[in-house]
Structure 1
């Protein structure tokens, strides 16, 4: 009888814990610029990384500067075009990209304020790159078929001028003349300070490797760590005042911009209820994470920006993640932010990018030993 009584108490206690509506307490909330929309484009990689860099500028200088997402998109399309032509069309050509593509772009071309390069032409109020990408691809395919007939570099630049606007080589900002590179230095951003980190078991830990995902057209390298180290790195960065760039899978039904929530519910849990009331989540292991990556349940879907940390009434950790799907309350909650559980982060993260100075000392030492500096 005693055992039955204890079992009943445990069941009641468990049901009580996991039948409450979410009540979040902010633990860390770092400075970030306003949530905006990427509109009808696949350029979340530029919106999120630009937001990340804007937070870095605030941290370093105290200034809020709205960076142009489309300036770096323009230069990245040129890099994609080169890659596509040199591989003779035997690779993906799409709107997608990764955080390191923005770092590659600013390393060579710097960055500019958004009001000087909006990427909106011909009176357009919203971004739409469907025709842009189709036009670029047709031009490149035509060159690949008849390489002696067309000047693809000239034509590609003309297409980008038409759809995004002419390139900027110098500009005035608050009474001072800058080039995009000198403006980047003025904002105290050094592209060499940033590192991309992942966690997969098919490659040795604490080494660099090229992650074979469709959008890694530039063959960027990732520093590989264990899953618990990845979580520790994110938590340490936030604690030290550094925000984190995030590449993750958002295809799960338990990722909901409408509810402003991302969780990994246990099997059998009603999803609609779990998005409203606290529910038990799966335990995420390195093995399960690897399995979901290799069977394509975890894919490279979307990039966002981690700016804070919260806890619910049961002490579960969530991350405050800035999205780029706008702030329309009919479509999104939390002002355009997603509250992402630690379980979701552990399972669905493809990679993170952050300032090397935000790394825990032990990881930084290992990274230096791996000669990544």
Structure 2
């Protein structure tokens, strides 16, 4: 059990937040109730298979943990024996590609651990993958990821490259950048042995994991671009400038419901900064009343049991994006559907912060929260309803 100070620091490092954002993190730590475990009673309705909960440690690699877990579930769905995939190998590959974009953009690009679900699929397609047992990233004696120092050094190096003191860029910076990654995460093996057979990352992806990266599609929902067309995912961590299918808000939960009922899971990007998201209690919803209008007693009882929820509209959702109430904070995996004691449906969500909460690392999140706070989600094309597949041509 972490004390408040240690957990605050861990979350700051995990999300790549500045120390000026301590107040935001404290909301996530303090919005809990001792009555939640007795106030909520959940019954599982649908539960897709997945692999054990992991802990991303002090690194902003939630997107890699959640989407690689999604790929592990895809292996199960395909009838394969799932392999715990190296989340840090994926992250490392993305850092190299992101560094090239950072330099090309003369430093006008967000830098840090962060990424999006599509980054995992893109890295899988380009660089392959490997088992977690082969590449842990724990190179210098740490038991958990701790990327703060490494990322500061990497950014400092890139900023020095962008200054271009030589008058023209040399190719040497890429070797230096890779050497820093090697120092902190370990060198990537060109070949490795798994179950008595030698593989490269590419051959392991093709022969053992066996998933087709073209089978996955990512969705967003904004009112600022036409629906049923691709639009830029306008969040700082979209360093790859990915465009995704823009769909109406109501189709977010329509797709997720359909996928889950077909046995597919979802890689989910969302905001977790709100006081009505409780990691400790493993519950997230959208209160019917505005928090500013609540008494302190009402706020203290936010997680004492099921509560009425706000009616979420596309306009309300867009406003939250535009005024920064919704931010691209975290990636998790939606794995199932459950009902509370009143018959209301929630999504079962797998997190990557270890198992130290009321639901052993999982959360129960209402559909209103998902409709309101989703930044993007990625799913197998076969999990998308037929009418929506036709509309976007997949």
Question: TM-score scaled to structure 1, two decimals?
Answer: 0.90
In structure 2, C-alpha distance between the alignment counterparts of 1:125 and 1:217, rounded to whole Å:
29
Q: What is the CA deviation profile of residues 17-63 of structure 1, one whole-angstrom value per residue up to 9, with x for unaligned ones?
A: xxx92211100111111111111011111011111111001111331
In structure 2, C-alpha distance between the alignment counterparts of 1:91 and 1:149, rounded to whole Å:
18
- Equivalent runs, 1:1-373 vs 2, <5 Å: 21-145=39-163, 146-147=165-166, 148=168, 151-186=172-207, 187-267=209-289, 268=293, 270-328=298-356, 332-368=357-393
SS at match of 2:122: helix
In structure 1, C-alpha distance between the alignment counterparts of 2:169 and 2:371, rounded to whole Å:
50
* CA radius of gyration, larger in: 1
Displacement of 1:281: 0.7
> Are the counterparts in 2 of residues 254 and 271 from structure 1 also a CA contact under 8 Å?
no
In structure 1, C-alpha distance between the alignment counterparts of 2:234 and 2:302, rounded to whole Å:
33
SS at match of 1:246: strand
In structure 1, C-alpha distance between the alignment counterparts of 2:81 and 2:152, rounded to whole Å:
38
Displacement of 1:149: 7.4
Q: Which residue of 2 aligns with 1:13?
A: none
Displacement of 1:93: 1.1
In structure 2, C-alpha distance between the alignment counterparts of 1:103 and 1:149, rounded to whole Å:
30
Displacement of 1:170: 1.8
Structure 2 residues without counterparts, runs of 5 or longer = 1-37
SS at match of 1:288: helix
Report how many residues are paired: 347
Instruction: Out of 180-189 and 338-347, give the one that drifted further.
Output: 180-189
Instruction: Out of 166-175 and 211-220, give the one that drifted further.
Output: 166-175
Instruction: Out of 354-363 and 161-170, give the one that drifted further.
Output: 161-170
In structure 2, C-alpha distance between the alignment counterparts of 1:302 and 1:333, rounded to whole Å:
19
> Are the counterparts in 2 of residues 193 and 356 from structure 1 also a CA contact under 8 Å?
yes
Structure 1 residues without counterparts, runs of 5 or longer = 1-19
